[in-house]
Structure formats: C-alpha cells, structure tokens
Chains A and B, each alone.
Chain A
Amino acid sequence: MNRMIVERLPRTEGILRVVQSDVEQEKTVFLGSGRSLQVEENLVGRYPLEAVQSTQMLSAVTGVSHALSAISALESYLQLDPTAASLQIRQMLLQLSTLCSHVTHFYWEVLPDYLNEDHFETTSSLKAFLRFDFRPEGRKKGDLSKEAGTQILSHIGQAARSLDELQQTIALIAGKYPVIMNLIPGGVTNFTFERGLLMKLLRKLEQVKGFIEVIWPEDVKLFIRDLPETVVVAVKKADLISFGSLSSGKKESIDAFYSEGVLIDGKLEPINEMLITESLQHTFYLPVGKTAGNDGRSFDFNKEGARTWIKGARYDGEPKQTGALSRMLITHIGGSHMEISDRVGRMIEDLGLSVESPNCIASRLLAEVFEGRLYIKSTLNLLLDYDVSLSLNKKTAFDFSKPGSGSGRIESPGGALLHQVFIKDNRITQYRVVSSVNWNFSSADRNGKTGIVENELNATLEKEELSVTQVSRIIHSYNAQILDGTK
C-alpha cells in the first residue's frame, strides 16, 4: 500500500512527491517528480549557441551555472580556450550566482521548516515569505526556540536586500538576472569592462559584504546551536563527487579553490567522464533504442513502475553525493587548498563529526556559509585585480559545421553539473544534462541502489515514522530545485 507523504514539496522549483510504500511490514520511501519539460529533446535541431539560453530556464538559482556549463561544452567542441579576462568574469558570475542560491537556500527554503506562529508575534517578516505563500502554524517538534527564530527573522529584510544587490551586480555584468546573456565561445560579449563599471560592482559588493561575512554565518551558527538534532548523521557512508573549480584566468590560481575528484571506498580518484551514467529505472524514459507512440517519443507515460522524470546519475554504477559539502571535503581530502582544508577540518571537529561520516543538515548548511565567505572575498579580489586592457573574447566566428561533441563540467550551487553536446551541420544532434538533482534526488536503479536523499529518508524511516515536516526538513537541506533534474 502506498501513502503520499508530500504531494508537492513547497518552496522548490518543479514538483517533488514523497511516497511511502508499506509492503508486508517493510516500509520504504521513494521520490517521484513532476513531468519533464523535455529541454534536452527540444534542443535537438537547434543552433548550438541556443543551448546557453535555453538551459537557463531550468532553474532560477542554478541557471547561471547551466549557461557556464553549456558554453564550456561548446568551447570543448570548438577546441577554443576562453580569454583570461573572460575567465575572470565567468568566475565572478558563478560565485555571485552561487551566493544568491545559498542565501535563498537558508533563509527561504530551510528556515521556514523550523518556524511557527510564535516567531511572528513581534515581527512583520511574514511578507518576506509571500512568494512561497508560507503561513506559519502552531509549534511543532524540532522548531527553533522563540528567541533564536525571532533573532534570525530580524535579518530577513537584510537578506532580501543583499540578494537584490547581488542580482543587480550580476545584471550589470551580464545584462540581466536570472537569465544571463553575455556568454559566447572564447569569451564574453561585453563591449567594454571599464573602470567605471568595476567601481560600480565594487560598491555594490561592499554593501553585501557585511551580511555575507558576518550576519548570515552568525544566523546559521545560532540555528545549529539551537537545534542539535541537525547534527545527527543518518547515513554513515559518504560517497562524494566534485567537478572542481572553474579556472579563474589568473596566472597564480589562488582562486581555483576546489579539487575535482570522486571518492570511491574512501580513496580519492580523478574523474573519468566515461564512467558517468544515468539510470532509467523507475523513470518514464524508455531504454535506449525503444520508442513509444506514433511520433517515436523516448518516454512512456504508462511505463510499469515509473514514478519519476529524474534520471539517476551514477559514477561507475554508484550513487554519489554532490554539493558544497562534497566539494569542500574532496578538496580537504586532496589537500590542495590549505585554507579550505583547515576550515573544513575545524568545522567537522566543532560539530563532533568525522571526515568519513560528515553528512548532516548542519554540515551542509555550514559548508555553504563558508563557501559564501570565500566567494565574496574572491570576487572582490578578482575585481580589484582586473586588468581592463585585456581582451574580452577571441574576436572570431564560430564554426559548428563539423560533426563532433563537447562537454562542460562545473560545480553549480547544488553540486556537480555536466553538459554534453553533439553537433553536426550547425545543429545540435543530441544534448545531455546531468545536474546535482540527478545525483542527489534519483530513485533506485536496477541494482536497487538509491540516490542520496532517498537513502537518507529511508535511513530515518528505520528509526521513526516520517512526518511531513521531517521529510521537508531533510529535503530542503539539500538543494532541491527539482525542475533542474527533470529537464
């Protein structure tokens, strides 16, 4: 017998369903999703450059990463290296958009799960949640204390203003936000990137620096201190993957924070893209080569056992966790960046966790805060060091006529993001996106191996009955932009 725990998870992009199945006293939880928008299929037959714009529609918070990944895939096909100046600009765009995503994640996606009517007695902060039609209810188990909740809520206006400033900064560079417009193979389209603009950007970022470096971290620390249960690790084993940092375009790559790699049985290995596969088990997609309907479509609404449009990303057949915590831990294990290694080590120690078993709500949120601090510092450095005399692009036309392919890998706010493009005669013949949602939110594959979130939900279910609030708290602590995974 199946029981729907959540029909539609609020405050996420796209639709995620959580269903509990009780068969012969064995309880399991699985995830289902809303229907695919078929972005990958719709790109077939289109001019390759259109992938940069079209894939941004998948998410308001990770759209910029999609654009950056798509342009890397096109450059890989064209065998064209972007200019140093454009790499710096891209690095800024990625960092700023990640900041937007992380701030939204904590204040608007995670926090409401721990609030109740008591927290809104003396504050008018509720209007900040209008977007999600959030209405606080009575006190629930595991809610924030009245003092801590009120304290954090008092910063929600500042969080909103900071987000607005960050979005304006991105728009100044890239035309608009959340859909950026200035990427081309080999560089960026900007006519100029002169001193006046640099000063404008610096002024804007100076306004949000205090919030990113002090207020937000303090709020997250208060949140964790008030809720010790967020430090509980549900699944001990942590298999991680990270695609590493973008090149910053600077000679001394001090801003290329993250190592790329995959953790297999505790050993860090370099990424082999050929080993990244997608499981179609429990999805509506048909096996490769099979079609349905008169129009030969690749999916079947009536496929037996199908419940999700999120393909299951696997590395060498294994599910992997991805996100800010994963990239930090992989960098820590690889030992390539002293500051990250040091901070992650201290964070794990402070929370009383181990590097082998670090995955909990608190560590995921703290990793984002720590990353936020690194990113604001790095973006300011990139702006201060920017050389306005450098060329913004390669001043060349793009030849997409030859048959070939390319891939672009990037660490989006939610984690590892891969774009692959196949091109012939100036048209896309095949397009593939593997997003962080495919890694974290996939359902079981044919070997019965479930994705990270489904695994954590099931581990929690073994200990106690799952409530809507509990499910929501676990899911929201990951980056749950589901549309990103259904394509």
Chain B
Amino acid sequence: MGTFFQHLTRRDFIRYLSVGSISIPVLMKGLAENLMAQEPITQQPIIWIQGQNSGIHSAGIWNLPEFSGFLEKFFKIVPQSKIDGDFIPLDDSDAAASHILILEGQFTNDPNDPLNSLIKDLIVVSRGVILLGNEAAYGKHAPEGFMDPEGDLLHHVETPFFKLPGAPVHARHILGMLNHLVLYGLPELDAYRRPSVFYSTLICNRCEYRSDFEAGRFVRYHGEREGCLYLMGCKGPVTKNSCPIEKWNGTSNWCVGAGSPCTGCSEPEYPDHHGLGMFGQLSSNDASINSFFVRHLETIAKGTAVLTVAGIATHAISKRTSSPLKGKRLSILEDEDE
C-alpha cells in the first residue's frame, strides 16, 4: 500500500478519496497521514452553522481523529462564535471570500434572530451551500416559526447549493462532497438536488435480500425468519441512497441488517411517504415487485371482488327472474291439469 501511495500525486490521491467509496476506509486505516504529508496546500474556508439541532448529523464523524485531521489539513473552519459576533466584514476577510457554507439543523424565520440575518448575508457570498440533514434539506416540512432554507433563501440567489439529507446524514457523504467541491466544484445532482454519486441507486437494488425480493419470499412478521422486509413496510424500493454498500459507523451493519425495514429517511417525502408513514407497505406497483403473486396481488384482489359482485348480481337477477317463470310453469301445468 505504501508503494502505491508513494507513486500518487496529492491530486491523484484526493481524486481517489473523492470517489467516495473508499474515503472513509482509507482515512480510517490511517493512510490519510500519507496525504497530509504531501505539499502544502491552500485551505478551503468552511463556515459550518448549526441552527436548532441535536447534532445527530455530525455525531458519527467528529470522533474519528483522522476526519478532524483531514478537515484541518484541507479546510479552514471558521468558528461560528466569530461569525455570530464581529466576524463580518465579509468583503475583506479571507474566510468569507469564497467559503463553503454548511447549514445544519433548523433556523428560525424570526428577523430579530441574529443567525437569520447572518445566513442571508453569507449565502450571497458563498461559493456553495450544503444543506445538511433533513431539517435543513427539506425545510418545507419545518414547523411554524422555522424557515425553509431552499424555498425562502436559496431560490432567490444564484449561489449553487445541494442537499445531503438523511436521519442522520452518512459521514462519507459529507467527506466525499467536501472532496468533490475542492477538486471539481459542484457535483452532479438529481432532481432533488442531492449528489448523484450517493443518491442515484435504489436501496433495494443493492440490498443483501434482493434475491428474496425477486423471488417473492417476504418476512411477514418480525422473528419469522431472515429475509426481505417489503411486507413490513420497507421503503428500499423507492429510496435512493448508498446505505447497503457503505453501511454505518464503520461497521458491517445498517438498518435492514438489523432487521428493521428501511424508513426512506433521505427521501423528500420522509416520514409521511404520501400517507404511508414510515412503516406502511408500498403498493406492488410502487415497489416494482417481480414476484408473480405479489405483483398481481392487487389485480387478483380486484378480479376476485369483481367476480364476487358479478356472482351476487347474477344470483340476484336469476332469483328475481326465476320466480315469475316458476309461476308461469305452474300455471301452464295447471292449464294442462285442467
């Protein structure tokens, strides 16, 4: 490994890291030191502003000493405390000149809140804005008194922005996107302004229980057996994220691995999912089920219902029409008898 990295330029190395899929493993093996020992570089200023939030999005990454070291090497984090106070003038400060702005949590729409006006000022002069976590990314769901950063602020300026949603956000998504911004600028985005590199493939397509899904072998209740959780309300068929391959907290586990259905936490409709909620079962059409039985379950049910109604109707008609006939026959018989 050492020889491999010795032949790499710093730029090549960062490119490898920025691919995302190897970022965290490489950093966790301590190889980031190789990178850090390279030529001096210009640090990119980051302004990381936390609103009303619980810190769930950053809890998993800051305890990695390598991650802090990496950030310290390539980025210059401007203290929020400095910004809250007398940080601005924006125009003559290095940090404010072309900073990356990260907004985490929820921000009030109260104009008297110092953070509110500060964010408005910073957004205009930012090189790019990252909306971190569902609260910032999908602010349209915010409770009264809080703003939607996208709808209320970013739609009115030309500053490029993208979202890293999730509950919580995956650590590698943060790292990978910071790398991308340094090297290439704004990443390719999907319709919801999420980086395609992480949010382009359905969870279901890379799930370890995909074969069960294809074959229609579903877990019907917790504890029945190990397998596909579609019937338990899994949103894997409609959720685009990289959880199945990246897993969580540097381990080999993730939600489905722990027997829990995916709740679709990085989708814009989370947690409502068009009225289904976190644990409501997707229709077979939405889930693009391949299993013959499940795929046609609704058709079969509808068909059965139609047949039942038709059967009842036929029976009713035949009953109504058969009585007069019976009468006629009788009268004929009576005639004959007579």
Which residues of A are in contact with B by a Cβ distance under 8 Å? 7-8, 10, 13-15, 34-38, 41-42, 46-47, 49-50, 53-54, 56-61, 63, 127-128, 130-131, 133-135, 157, 160-161, 163-164, 167-168, 170-179, 181-182, 184, 187-192, 295, 297, 301, 391-397, 481, 483-484, 486
Q: Which residues of B contact A486 (CB under 8 A)?
A: 52
- A14/B81 contact (C-beta < 8 A), A47-B277, A167-B60 known: no
Q: Tell me how far the C-beta of A347 lies from the nearest C-beta in chain B, rounded to whole angstroms.
A: 28
**Which residues of B from 244 to 271 have beta carbons under 8 Å from A?**
248-260, 263, 271
Q: A483 — nearest CB in chain B belongs to which residue?
A: B54
Q: Which residues of A contact B52 (CB under 8 A)?
A: 14-15, 34-35, 37, 483, 486
Q: A197 — nearest CB in chain B belongs to which residue?
A: B253
Q: B56 to A60, Cβ gap below 8 A? A: yes
Q: Which residues of B contact A133 (CB under 8 A)?
A: 48, 77-82
Partner of B278, one of A35, A47, A392, A483: A47
Q: Tell me how far the C-beta of A159 lies from the nearest C-beta in chain B, rounded to whole angstroms.
A: 8
Q: Which residues of B contact A15 (CB under 8 A)?
A: 52
Q: How large is the interface on B (under 10, 10 to 19, 20 to 34, 35 or more residues)?
A: 35 or more
- A160/B279 contact (C-beta < 8 A), A131-B58, A171-B253 known: no
Query: Which segment, of B121-129, B219-227, B282-290, faces chain A?
Result: B219-227
Q: Is B94 an interface residue (CB 8 A)?
A: no
Q: A60 to B55, Cβ gap below 8 A? A: yes
Q: Given the complex of chains A and B, what is the CA–CA distance between A393 and B263 in angstroms?
A: 20
Q: A50 to B167, Cβ gap below 8 A? A: no
Q: B57 — nearest CB in chain A belongs to which residue?
A: A60
Q: Tell me how far the C-beta of A292 lies from the nearest C-beta in chain B, rounded to whole angstroms.
A: 11
Partner of B168, one of A178, A187, A190, A295: A178
Q: Given the complex of chains A and B, what is the CA–CA distance between A168 and B58 in angstroms?
A: 15
Q: A130 to B68, Cβ gap below 8 A? A: yes
Q: A168 to B251, Cβ gap below 8 A? A: yes
Partner of A179, one of B167, B222, B224, B250: B167
Q: Which residues of A contact B271 (CB under 8 A)?
A: 46, 50, 53-54
Q: B53 to A13, Cβ gap below 8 A? A: yes
Q: Which residues of B contact A161 (CB under 8 A)?
A: 63, 65
Q: Tell me how far the C-beta of B92 lies from the nearest C-beta in chain A, rounded to whole angstroms.
A: 21
Q: Given the complex of chains A and B, what is the CA–CA distance between A195 and B232 in angstroms?
A: 27
Q: B259 to A182, Cβ gap below 8 A? A: yes
Q: Which residues of B contact A481 (CB under 8 A)?
A: 54
Q: Tell me how far the C-beta of A288 lies from the nearest C-beta in chain B, rounded to whole angstroms.
A: 19
A-B contact pairs, 20 of them (CB 8 A): A34-B52, A34-B108, A46-B277, A58-B54, A128-B65, A131-B62, A157-B65, A160-B68, A161-B65, A168-B251, A173-B258, A176-B253, A177-B248, A182-B259, A189-B259, A190-B258, A393-B222, A393-B223, A395-B224, A483-B54
Query: Which segment, of B5-13, B142-150, B196-204, faces chain A?
Result: B142-150
Q: Given the complex of chains A and B, what is the CA–CA distance between A173 and B248 in angstroms?
A: 11
Q: A175 to B258, Cβ gap below 8 A? A: yes
Q: Given the complex of chains A and B, what is the CA–CA distance between A394 and B224 in angstroms?
A: 10
Partner of A127, one of B72, B114, B143: B72
Q: Given the complex of chains A and B, what is the CA–CA distance between A187 and B248 in angstroms?
A: 22
Q: Given the complex of chains A and B, what is the CA–CA distance between A51 and B252 in angstroms?
A: 26
Q: Tell me how far the C-beta of B61 lies from the nearest C-beta in chain A, rounded to whole angstroms.
A: 9
Partner of B222, one of A57, A59, A168, A189: A189
Q: B59 to A395, Cβ gap below 8 A? A: no
Q: Which residues of A contact B54 (CB under 8 A)?
A: 13-14, 57-60, 63, 481, 483-484
Q: A177 to B59, Cβ gap below 8 A? A: yes
Q: Which residues of A contact B222 (CB under 8 A)?
A: 184, 187, 189, 393, 395
Partner of B277, one of A50, A60, A184, A190: A50
Q: Which residues of A contact B48 (CB under 8 A)?
A: 133
Q: Given the complex of chains A and B, what is the CA–CA distance between A434 and B81 in angstroms?
A: 31
Q: Tell me how far the C-beta of B73 lies from the nearest C-beta in chain A, rounded to whole angstroms.
A: 9
Q: A57 to B167, Cβ gap below 8 A? A: yes
Q: A177 to B257, Cβ gap below 8 A? A: no
